[in-house]
Each structure stands twice: as C-alpha cells, then as structure tokens.
C-alpha cells in the first residue's frame, strides 16, 4: 500500500505531534502504510513528553506532494494551518476537534470531529472502537496531549470524555497525571531563554476574520509579570511579523497555567481594536487587555472575535 503522511498543524503543539504519532500507529495496525511527520520542531513541552516516553521527534516536512499522494490530518482542518502544498495532495482522513473552515475535498474521506478538549480523546475512542490495544508509550503520548490541550483538565474545553480518556490512558502508561502533567506543562513555560520573535511564533495560528487575517499566538507562563515586563519588545515583534507576513492584526495571549488567567497584547487598526473590545467586553489600554479566566484560544477567543467581526 502506498505511503501516506499523518500530521498536525503548523507550529505544532503536543496534540499535533502526539496525536499524529498515535493515529499513525493505529492506522498502521488497521492495514494502512503511514508515517507520522510534523510541520515544525516540537516545543519544549512536547520535547519533554517525547523524551520521557522514549520517542524521537517526527521528522519535519516542508511539503507533502514530493513524497506522498495522500495525507491524514489530525488536530486541524483549515488549509492555512496545514502543509503549504495541501492543495496538491489528497486528504483521506481528518480527526479533529476544531471548527471546520474553508475545508474542501474532491473525494469522499473519513472525517471525525468531536467537540472535546483534545484530538487524542477522539483517537482513544477510535482505538476502542477498532479493538486495537494501546501500547504503553502511545498511551503516554496521548495522555500528554490531553494534559496539554486541557491544561490538566482545567480548560473550559474539557469534557467528561477527556477525563475518561486521560484516566484510562494514564493507567496504561503508568503515569501520575498531576505530577507528570505539571512537570510537562512547566517545561513549556521557560520564556526567559527565548526571544520575543521566537515566542510569538511558537504556538501561533492564523484565522480569517471576515476577510481580515488575524494572527493569534499563545504563550504559557507560571508568572504573568515575567511576560508583561517584556511588553514593548513583544509589541515590536508583533508589528514586524505583521508587516512581513501581511497580518491585519496580531494578538498575543499570555496564559498563567497555574491560575488559569491571561493577559493579551493586541495590535491592529482602530476598527480592529474596537472589535476586540466588543468581543471581550474589556477596554484595551496601551495595547493591553486583561482576560480573566480565559485560557482557550479555540473556545474563548476565536468564537467571540468571529462574532464581533461578522
């Protein structure tokens, strides 16, 4: 059987990389010939999980079409978050937990999307439905993905299915969810070692807001102040990146993973700024907005922004 790639979105997080590894394993057990690859290097949090579980990082691809004719997507569907030549390959499978936007295929496909906290929760169900046993390290990387996406089950995106999946997977993997999870999340919060340019690109996604391109990045910390003192340099990096890449607006969400609170830096024209204020019901002061209790870009940031711009 001809090989297919399995991958998550650009600027991959632990779900994008971990679930690609798990879904590739499952598909190979079901008779497909797949390779888990990635659209970027793992971040510090993901690297921590890969190291702990004995995985090598999936190799990074720039394009898919030179190597394969068909691909399977996990943790995304929007073309601008996918491989650059996604239009040149056939998408045969999608497993996701995001909104569906601008996604089209010319052929029928397997598409499974659920409004749960993590793609690995959906893949855990697929393993069970197919009666495929989950090896210890695969269970560990799936548990890591769920811990990452749900911030240890504290994000408002968390569902009962995520809780069940994490409990079952942690048991197979033999990990203590609280101690392993906190250590893994903390491994991703070392912002002191990184430049503002790097930090605004680590976990960043582009969204179409009624014809305008919004770049929304998120950085996890254990102390908001550590990021706020670097505000001027962050704003400069966001302006440079917007000019270079043609973003109409840029939002950097800085999230304290310990107390589930965020502060945002936002740049854009006057109209964009007033729409951000409308979306969150908060005033922008000097490009800064406090967003109490906001931790999820997918559930608490993108939907109100989409509504404000439409």
**Chain residues in the site for Mn ion (CB under 5 A):** 13, 15-16, 75, 119, 149
CB 250 → Mn ion: shortest distance, Å?
19
Point out which residues pair with 262 in neighbouring strands. 255, 291
Q: Is 278 exposed, middle or buried, given 0-12, 13-18 or 19+ CB atoms closer than 10 A?
A: middle
CA neighbours within 13 Å on the CB side: how many for 240? 11
Closest to Mn ion by CB, 134 or 142: 142
CB 145 within 8 A of CB 118: yes
**Based on CB atoms, which residue is closest to Mn ion, 13 or 45?**
13
Sheet order of strands, 288-291 included: 204-209, 212-221, 249-256, 261-268, 288-291
Q: Nearest residue by C-beta to Mn ion? A: 15
Closer CB to Mn ion, 78 or 196, in the complex? 78
Shortest distance, CB of residue 127 to Mn ion, whole angstroms?
17
- Shortest gap between Cβ of 292 and Mn ion (angstroms)? 23
Collect all residues with Cβ–Cβ distance below 8 Å to 216 and sequence separation of at least 6: 204, 205, 206, 207, 250, 251, 253, 297, 301, 302
Burial (Cβ within 10 Å: 0-12, 13-18, ≥19) of residue 193: exposed
CA dist 69 and 170 (Å) reads 36
CB of 12 to Mn ion, least distance (A): 7
12 vs 268, beta carbon nearer Mn ion: 12
User: Measured from the CB of residue 13, what is the shortest distance to Mn ion in angstroms?
Assistant: 4
**Shortest distance in whole angstroms from residue 95 CB to Mn ion:** 10
Residue 27 or 150: which CB sits closer to Mn ion?
150
* DSSP SS3 for 111: strand
For Mn ion, give the closer residue by CB, 19 or 241.
19
């Amino acid at each position: 059987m001809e090989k297919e790639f399995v991958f998550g979105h650009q600027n991959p997080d632990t779900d994008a990389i971990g679930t690609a590894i798990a879904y590739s394993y499952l598909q190979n057990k079901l008779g497909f010939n797949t390779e888990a690859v990635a659209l970027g290097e793992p971040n510090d949090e993901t690297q921590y999980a890969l190291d702990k579980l004995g995985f090598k990082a999936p190799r990074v691809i720039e394009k898919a079409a030179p190597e394969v004719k068909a691909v399977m997507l996990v943790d995304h569907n929007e073309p601008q978050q996918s491989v650059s030549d996604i239009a040149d390959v056939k998408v045969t499978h999608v497993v996701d937990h995001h909104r569906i936007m601008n996604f089209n295929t010319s052929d029928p496909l397997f598409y499974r999307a659920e409004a749960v906290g993590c793609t690995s929760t959906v893949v855990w169900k697929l393993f069970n439905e197919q009666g495929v046993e989950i090896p210890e390290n695969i269970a560990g990387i799936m548990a890591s993905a769920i811990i990452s996406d749900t911030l240890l089950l504290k994000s408002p995106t968390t569902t009962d299915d995520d809780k069940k999946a994490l409990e079952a997977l942690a048991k197979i993997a033999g990990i203590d969810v609280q101690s392993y999870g906190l250590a893994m999340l903390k491994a991703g919060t070392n912002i002191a070692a990184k430049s503002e340019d790097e930090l605004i690109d680590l976990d960043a996604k582009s969204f179409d807001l009624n014809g305008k391109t919004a770049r929304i990045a998120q950085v996890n910390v254990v102390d908001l102040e550590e990021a706020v003192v670097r505000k001027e340099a962050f704003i400069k990096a966001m302006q440079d990146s917007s000019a270079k890449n043609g973003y109409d607006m840029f939002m950097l969400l800085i999230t304290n993973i310990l107390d589930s609170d965020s502060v945002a830096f936002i740049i854009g024209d006057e109209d964009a700024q007033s729409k951000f204020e409308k979306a969150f019901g908060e005033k922008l002061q000097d490009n800064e907005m406090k967003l109490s209790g906001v931790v999820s870009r997918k559930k608490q940031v993108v939907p109100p922004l989409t509504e404000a711009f439409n």
